[in-house]
Chain A
Amino acid sequence: MIPELGHYALALGCVVAAAQGLLSLWGAQRGDARLIGAAPALALSQALAVTLSFLALVWCGVVSDFSVMNVAEYSSATTPLLYRITGTWGNHEGSILLWCLILSLCGGVVAGFGERLPSSFRARVLGVLGLVSSGFLLFTLTLSDPFQRIWPPPMDGQGVNPLLQDPGLAFHPPILYCGYVGFSVAFAFAVASLLEGTVDAAWGRWVRPWTLAAWCFLTAGIALGSWWSYYVLGWGGYWFWDPVENASLLPWLTGTALLHSAIVVEKREALKIWSLLLAIMTFSLSLCGTFMVRSGLLNSVHAFANDPARGVFILALLGLVIGASLLLFAVRAPLLQPAGLFAPLSREGGLVLNNILLCSIMAVVLVGTMYPPFVQLIFGQQISVGPPFFESTAIPLAAPLIAAMGLGPALSWKRAALGPALLRLWWAAVAALVLVALIFPSHGLRAALGLGGAVWLLLAAAADIGNRAGWRPGRLLHLPRAAYGAALGHAGLGVTIAGIAGMTLALHSISLVQPGQTIRLGGFDWTLDGLQDQPGPDYAARVATLTVRDAGNGALVATLHPARRSFPLQQQTTTEVAIRTNGLRDLYVAMGDERDGGVVLRIHVNPLAPWIWFGALIMAAGGALSLSDRRWRVGAPQRLRQKGRARPAAVPAE
């Protein structure tokens, strides 16, 4: 009964979404006040229906209803409760439903909190969101139905994919999807203003918080995914330039560019057409990121669920959404009032440079990702584009970006001079250069440049805050939170870059180790004490015990327990990496196969590794801090905000 209710709610959501799309756009075009007024209610109803549908699927997982094919294939009686819930989105059908849920919730949030928007503009935004939503809900209903029943129901399910049975990956999809789908709002704002034919400073002000929120989620989602591949895959790396990873990086790069170009739209009414294109591109890349990967076109270690029939529907849908918006852009954008001019050396000039560099990196990553399938299509040759390509092309572009990032906030709007800006930052530049000179001879160019860049970013962020406060401690408390947010965002990237630079100095060794044998690596003695069997809830584990001692004085540093878990139901084995960190370096051991009484161990010493994800967390926190400020500043009329809060609570009660 519950699955059928869920299926019905999904169908209802699809119909309401189509109504939301068509009626709102039609009403806004005709200036029909009733239809315009109905848009938020339709958006909220759609969000409610899709939420109910999603909850129904979660319910099927929680009670282990194996008559639902989705549950039977991806869950089992022995699966722990947490993974019965998160298993809902650990497969193709469920993850698409989650995607639709977030999209409909985005519409609901715009309906609930978008009170400050002009009502016809809001109706257009909701209309665009509704149309996109109805397309994907239709896809879910027709080709990827998560509620499909099987008869007779099996006694037990096939179990969740062991790789997904991990807290990090369990919450990775919702966060990443919030990022991907969050950009749909910026996209809808862009399409709505193309329909209206006007873009002004207010557009920049409206679109910024939505972009920022999506960006925070995407940053956190990418970091979580990278952390997962570091501690679960057991290959010792954190980023493999895999198509799936690249697919999440592409919208992050254009989203970051949009975040900065929207500032120029708001403050200076320039870069309007460019920002519209960025908003369309960012969501388009998000769509491609979610769906291209699932069609099996891109060869990836992460690929699951390859079905060409689904691929054709998705391709047509993507073509329709992206094609229609780009067509509208080509026809309407040239009619926008030309932008105001500004000097190249100014805050906005710096932001343009930021955009150029970010989009260049995006282009490089895009080409590297798309090159193999297209070469195979055209020339029939199988090639792979690996990390050397991405590293040798992205690093030369990232270096000037980092240099400009420190300098940018020190420039003034309209027209700036390089002299005063450098005067404020010379000490940071000197510190960074000294560090580069110190590290370069012993540790190589990459580590030196990376750590120098990190120090430059951190000091420049501190200098930015200091300068804003006029170097008076008393004023620090009175700075707007957005100023702290921006500085934190830049500083967070600095921390991440320090981590990446540290990882270039990582040491590793792979060897067959007998119990009692000791290996020396990175100033530590690693001794394999023994191997034990350990039962788990739905797996059997083989656990190794290693003691790590300081090679100099023999002091005990850590006891590590890397393990391999074999899941009999799924006939799969996973690696449980043992990591001990002290914040400055990770001791990392992954266990391989056992042979001849010994075991293959992959041992790493990774300097500064945790900083990579800690930095990303700082970036996301900076974004969130900035967001908390903007609500106070922009949502100036207090009454409207309170009304906006009361609204979503009232409507679902109907």
Chain B
Amino acid sequence: MSAPMPQDIPQKSIIARRLMLGLPLLGLGLAGGGFALMLRQMRNGRFDPHALPSQLIGRAVPDFTLPGLAGGPMTGNQLQHPAGPMLVNFFASWCVPCLEEASTMAALAKTGLPIWGIAYKDNPADTRRFLAQNGNPYARIALDQPGRVAIDWGLYGVPETYLIDAQGIVRWRYAGPLTSAVVAGELQPLLAKAGA
């Protein structure tokens, strides 16, 4: 390869310019290395971009105080010392999947499992209309209008459901609408264990 060597560029500045124009190559190397690492970890299952892990599993519910839709405030302390296994469900009147899981929630409530609801970024009038239209499976309902508590919980979106065992430890988290299949396949075995 014989590149034409321009006379008016000093050798030193060519090296400097080469180093500068080599920066995109460096960027590519870093990105490529990162991707290669991701692919390797994907193969042995350590890296899954599609999983939605929850930091709360195996821990107590974080501290919070939220105004209730009716009655007194809901606090983290109450959930850290529950009467028995229970569910906490984040929902909103503006979310379509929340409508879809309403029948599953109603069926779960009938079994006697206490479900506490937290309305996420929703105004109270809309929440009331939503519950009047679709039935109210919740034993208690709190309002998280600014959505700050949801951040502490690591909420991915609504609806999202957490199982808290009798000791107040979060055992399970499900992002998305609960279906009877999920209840039978994932929730019931855990409930049986938590109850035992």
**What residues make up the interface of A, taking CB atoms closer than 8 Å to B?**
29, 195, 197-198, 273, 277, 280-281, 284, 292, 295-299, 308, 311-312, 315, 318-319, 322-323, 326-327, 329-338, 370, 372-374, 376-377, 382, 384, 510-512, 592-593, 595, 600, 602
Contacts and interface: CB of A to CB of B under 8 A. Distances in A.
Given A330-B22, A382-B52, A311 B47 contact: no
A315 B35 contact: yes
Given A323-B32, A335-B3, A373 B38 contact: yes
B83 to A, nearest CB: 31
A281 B96 contact: no
Nearest to B27: A326
Nearest to A29: B1
B32 A319 contact: yes
Contacts of A273: 21
A257 to B, nearest CB: 15
Given A277-B24, A296-B49, A595 B99 contact: yes
Contacts of A318: 32
A510 B96 contact: yes
B39 A334 contact: no
Nearest to B4: A197
Given A377-B47, A510-B99, A330 B39 contact: no
A510 B29 CA distance: 47
B21 A512 contact: no
Given A323-B32, A370-B31, 4 more contacts: A281-B24, A511-B133, A595-B102, A600-B100
B4 A335 contact: yes
Contacts of B18: 330-331, 334
B6 A512 contact: no
B24 A326 contact: yes
B104 to A, nearest CB: 11
A141 B35 CA distance: 24
Nearest to A382: B53
B39 A312 contact: yes
A315 B32 contact: yes
Contacts of A295: 35, 39
B24 A297 contact: no
Interface in B21-56: 21-22, 24-25, 28-29, 31-32, 34-39, 41-43, 47, 49-53
A598 B94 CA distance: 17
B9 interface: yes
28 contacts: A195-B1, A273-B21, A277-B24, A284-B28, A297-B35, A297-B38, A297-B39, A297-B49, A299-B50, A308-B39, A311-B39, A318-B32, A322-B28, A323-B28, A323-B32, A329-B21, A330-B18, A335-B6, A335-B9, A372-B49, A376-B49, A377-B37, A377-B38, A382-B51, A510-B95, A512-B99, A595-B103, A600-B96
B193 interface: no
A334 B103 contact: no
B110 interface: no
10 smallest CB-CB distances across A and B, nearest first, come from A334-B17, A330-B22, A326-B25, A299-B49, A197-B3, A308-B43, A330-B21, A311-B39, A319-B32, A197-B4
Main secondary structure of the interface of A (DSSP, over half): helix
A122 to B, nearest CB: 19
Contacts of B31: 370
A327 B28 CA distance: 10
B42 A323 contact: no
Contacts of A376: 47, 49
Contact of B35 (A198, A281, A292, A334): A292
Contacts of A382: 51-53
A595 B41 CA distance: 43
B191 to A, nearest CB: 25
Nearest to A284: B28
B96 A330 contact: no
B5 interface: yes
A373 B49 contact: yes
Contacts of A511: 133
A311 B3 contact: no
B131 to A, nearest CB: 12
A355 to B, nearest CB: 15
A48 B40 CA distance: 38
B14 interface: yes
Contacts of A331: 18
A451 to B, nearest CB: 27
B134 interface: yes
B42 A296 contact: yes
A463 B66 CA distance: 58
Given A329-B21, A337-B6, A512-B133, A319 B99 contact: no
Contacts of A374: 34
Contact of B29 (A311, A323, A338): A323
A321 to B, nearest CB: 10
Given A334-B17, A512-B134, A315 B1 contact: no
A495 B49 CA distance: 37
A331 B14 CA distance: 9
B186 to A, nearest CB: 19
Contacts of B95: 510
Contacts of B38: 297, 373, 377
Given A277-B24, A512-B99, A335 B35 contact: no
Contact of B49 (A198, A280, A298, A600): A298
Nearest to B177: A593
B42 A311 contact: yes
Contacts of B5: 335
Contacts of A197: 3-4
A489 B39 CA distance: 40
Contacts of A322: 28
A280 B27 CA distance: 14
Interface string B179-191: 0000000000000
Contacts of A334: 9, 13-14, 17-18, 21
Nearest to A329: B21
Nearest to B30: A374
Contacts of B47: 376-377
Contacts of A372: 49
A595 B29 CA distance: 54
Interface in B49-100: 49-53, 94-96, 99-100
Nearest to A280: B24
A382 B49 CA distance: 8
A543 to B, nearest CB: 19
Nearest to B16: A334
A592 B49 contact: no
B55 to A, nearest CB: 9
Nearest to B33: A319
B99 A593 contact: yes
Interface string B148-162: 000000001000000
B51 to A, nearest CB: 7
A61 B52 CA distance: 38
A332 B36 CA distance: 28
Nearest to A333: B21
A319 B32 CA distance: 7
A274 B17 CA distance: 13
A284 B24 CA distance: 11
Contacts of A332: 3
A319 B34 CA distance: 12
Given A335-B4, A338-B9, A308 B42 contact: yes
Contacts of A337: 6
